[in-house]
């Protein structure tokens, strides 16, 4: 069976998004590249090896496209959203579905996240891993730097 070819055009992390119902325009607010977590204890105690959860509303936004023909219908793609710590160890993962509607060549995927698990200062990576048997495998990632103050 021939694999369906999809591409990711871009991905980012932001504080929130808004989609206008009349025009379908996407507005992205406060792109997040770095987060400073303030800890009131001085000196800072050692972080738990398992990490801890920081409440932080944010969104993983990505833009996808596919090649379509007249016969292409809906396309549901299995994927996972993963979070890796600075040592590239998996902290969290969540199943998700990327859904192209019939006749649509592109789509925006907006994943709302209420908290982030952290272990240490450094670069954390969100990754979407597409593993669906109908689609050529693809991984998409974006990073956020976490600092402690």
Domain ranges of the chain: 6-39+50-148
pLDDT given at position 69: 66
pTM of the model: 0.86
pLDDT given at position 72: 72
The more confident residue out of 30 and 49 is: 30
What CATH architecture is 6-39+50-148?
Sandwich (2.60)
N residues, the chain? 149
Q: What is the pLDDT of residues 66-120, one digit of tens each?
A: 887 655 788 888 999 999 999 999 999 999 999 988 888 899 999 999 999 998 8
- Other C-beta atoms within 10 Å of 34: how many? 10
Distance CA 69, CA 79 (A): 23
- Span 140-146, mean pLDDT? 94
């Amino acid at each position: 069976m021939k694999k369906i070819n999809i591409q990711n055009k871009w991905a980012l992390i932001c504080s929130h998004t808004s989609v206008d119902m009349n025009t379908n325009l996407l507005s992205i607010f406060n792109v997040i590249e770095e987060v400073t977590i303030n800890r009131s204890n001085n000196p800072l105690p050692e972080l738990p090896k398992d990490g801890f959860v920081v409440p932080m509303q944010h969104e993983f936004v990505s833009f996808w496209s596919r090649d379509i023909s007249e016969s292409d219908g809906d396309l549901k793609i299995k994927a996972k959203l993963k979070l890796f710590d600075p040592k590239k160890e998996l902290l969290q993962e969540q199943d998700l579905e990327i859904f192209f509607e019939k006749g649509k060549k592109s789509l925006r995927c907006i994943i709302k996240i209420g908290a982030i698990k952290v272990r240490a200062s450094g670069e954390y990576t969100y990754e979407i891993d597409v593993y669906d048997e109908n689609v050529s495998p693809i991984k998409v990632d974006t990073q956020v730097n976490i600092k402690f103050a």
